[in-house]
Amino acid sequence: MILLMLCGSLLLYDFQKLYPTITVRLLEYDKHFDQYGSDFTFYDYNHPEDLPLELKHNYQVVIADPPYLSKECLEKVAQKIYFLAHLEESFLLLLTGEVQTDRAADLLGLRPCNFRPQHSSKLGNEFRLFTNYDPLERLGGWVQEK
């Protein structure tokens, strides 16, 4: 299984320690992650077309944590997710503000999970985790529509 973290807030090093057999690629704007060598690719969401072609449709799992809650940002991140994810079947996880619920559904076919991420600092926006697959008991399952 191959995992990709796009605009990741998760630490690559910690993930690799927990799951040493999983190949991970971190796409991130912060160049201090270049210490991870080939596991790191510089990525600026403002330029979604600027990625190596060998990454195209190469990832079974894509975890995205866009840097902003704007419509423009999510649209550009969605473009890149479609570029990176396997065509046949991929598992998409998106961590973003609850205000993006409709956009996440429209752009990527994602639904919110009952799991609610918590931040150590108080943020003005409620965050959610969205997936394109039913996580069942994991992550609290999908939020049931009323």
User: Residue 98's pLDDT is what?
Assistant: 92
Give the separation between CA 84 and CA 108, rounded to whole angstroms.
13
pLDDT top residue among 25 and 111: 111
Domain locations along the chain? 2-140
- Of the listed ranges 23-32, 57-66, 95-104, 120-129, the least confidently predicted one is 120-129
Q: Are 116 and 95 in contact (CB under 8 A)?
A: no
pLDDT in tens, 44-79: 888 877 889 999 999 999 989 888 899 999 999 999
In three-state secondary structure terms, 126 is: coil
User: Residue 92's pLDDT is what?
Assistant: 95
Q: For helices 101-108 and 71-84, what crossing angle results, to 10°?
A: 30
pLDDT in tens, 4-16: 665 554 566 677 7
Q: Is the pLDDT of residue 2 over 70?
A: no
Both structure tokens of 111:
């639904």
User: Residue 9's pLDDT is what?
Assistant: 46
Give the separation between CA 75 and CA 7, rounded to whole angstroms.
14
% pLDDT > 90, the chain: 36
Identify the residue whose tokens are 């979604």: 48
The CATH code that applies to domain 2-140 is: 3.40.50.150
% pLDDT > 70, the chain: 86
Q: Say if residue 85 is exposed, middle or buried (CB neighbours under 10 Å; 0-12, 13-18, 19+).
A: buried
Q: Is the pLDDT of residue 1 over 50?
A: no
Q: Is the pLDDT of residue 31 over 70?
A: yes
Q: If you average pLDDT over residues 19-34, what whole number do you get?
A: 83
